[in-house]
Chain A
Amino acid sequence: MILEMNNISKNFGDLSVIKDISFNVDRGEVVSIIGPSGSGKSTLLRCATFLETISSGEIRYMDTVAAYTDPNGTVNYLTPNDLRKIKGYFGLVFQQFNLFPHYSVLRNLMDAPLKVQKRHKDEVEAECMELLRKMGLEAKANAYPCQLSGGQQQRVAIARALAMKPEVLFFDEPTSALDPELTGEVLKVIKQLAEEKMTMVVVTHEMSFARAVSDRVIFMDGGVIVEQGHPEEVFGNTMEERTRQFLSNYSR
């Protein structure tokens, strides 16, 4: 088990965004999380990546407890130093790419492996060039993010996350900021990673993509998991009325 999230709740003030969700990710699994906006799916991802602190529950990566709730109800996280090691287990691809604009494409990929993981430059450079080749962007190694299209930037962002050699890759609506004609090239890359058995969790609004690529689809609404299962079950043999309602908006 790469990630275990047990009984996670997240409140923003009085607003309860995630209500007692448990969610696991196995090695090699591709999980898609779908649901209307405000359903808590992005927040769940942000809790998993420590960008938000949970209000209660437990998070484990690779059998190491990263956060837990003690009997008093207080949530405890590992110290920043120990958490840094855990952060090496996952990567996150943002909706808005969030590349570093002042670094070249190659430097965007190489900087964290060098500065955070303290790996050797030659080795990192060779690996990063290979990643760019895989993304079809080796010609852009020395370009700057502002010179790239949105689709290219997102592929660089995926490569940047992969350069850290994560166990699991999270995607937070990776194509929502892209023109429809550019989403294809990003989805193709994610598909390719799925074929290579990369463990991934994708929050997405691309239903046909979720259906084609995922091993498991989770439908969230109102801060809870309404329904989950094999994509053919969730899409083809929907059990819950709420899910059916949501999916019908997409088939139109």
Chain B
Amino acid sequence: MSLSTMILKMSVGLGRTCSIFFLTLLISLPLGLVVALLRRSKNKVISGFFRFIISILRGTPLMLQLLAVTYGPYYLFGFSVSRNKLIPVVIAFAINYAAYFAEIYRGGIESISNGQYEAAEVLGYSKFQTFIGIILPQVVKRILPSITNEIVTLVKDTSLAFTVSYQEMFTIGKQIANSQTSFMPFVVAGVFYYVFNAIVDFVMGKAEKSMDYYN
């Protein structure tokens, strides 16, 4: 197989890689914020529950979670494994990343000084207005470097989808490598991931810069 055919075949999978990536971010970024807020709940039962969930999700391998979400329903309830593996893959990724994002959000929220809340309270802002208009923008600025870190990791983690044979770029590459007994597909995959992350770095750098106007 020529290098160009190899690249072409793997490019097909790249679309699926991007699907995992973007859908995961789309779900886990807002979900993480919700989980962070629930984790900070004054209700001990609620905060304790989410602390536990987060510890499970961060304390076990993502690969295991992928297998559990994809095949768990079959072993537990006898449901047939869904044909479109994108759904379980995205669910597993989104939940796992939401747990990490939640802890990043939480750290960011807790780093905002009490004075900001008090100033807003005295000015008569509602709790919602305070959070959305005053606290969250400052939190986003502070956590952006950590978020970038997670996003970079996510790009590479999409390759874990091979464990459930979801035909994304790395899975295809691995199959080609096996059939052709060639290391070349892995090199191609490495280049793909690197370029992908270079774009992530560029975009996130822009985002950070756009918030440079204050500190």
Contact = CB atoms under 8 A, between A and B. Distances in A.
B122 A51 contact: yes
Given A144-B213, A145-B214, A98 B124 contact: no
A160 B121 CA distance: 13
B118 A115 contact: no
Contacts of B119: 94, 98-100
Contacts of B213: 144
Interface string A49-89: 11100000000000000000000000000001000100110
Contacts of A98: 113, 115-116, 118-119
B15 interface: no
A116 B134 CA distance: 13
Contacts, number: 59
Interface string A150-166: 00000000001000100
A68 B126 CA distance: 23
B212 to A, nearest CB: 11
A111 B129 CA distance: 11
B123 A146 contact: no
A174 B119 CA distance: 14
Interface string B192-215: 000000000000000000010111
Most chain A beta carbons < 10 A, residue from B118, B124, B129, B137: B124
Interface string A122-157: 000000000000000000000011100000000000
A96 B115 contact: yes
A144 B214 contact: yes
Interface residues of B, number: 21
A112 interface: yes
B138 interface: yes
A84 B124 contact: yes
A92 B123 CA distance: 8
A252 interface: no
B131 interface: no
Nearest to A116: B124
Given A98-B115, A100-B134, A102-B141, A116 B123 contact: yes
A80 B126 CA distance: 9
A101 interface: yes
A101 B129 CA distance: 16
B123 A101 contact: no
A145 B134 CA distance: 14
A112 B116 contact: no
A145 B119 CA distance: 15
Interface of A: 49-51, 80, 84, 87-88, 90-92, 94, 96, 98-102, 111-112, 115-117, 144-146, 160, 164
In the A-B complex, the 8 residue pairs with the smallest Cβ-Cβ separation, listed nearest first, are: A98-B119, A98-B115, A112-B123, A116-B124, A87-B124, A92-B122, A144-B214, A101-B214
17 contacts: A80-B126, A91-B122, A92-B122, A94-B115, A96-B113, A98-B116, A98-B118, A99-B119, A102-B134, A102-B137, A102-B211, A112-B125, A116-B124, A116-B125, A117-B124, A144-B213, A146-B215
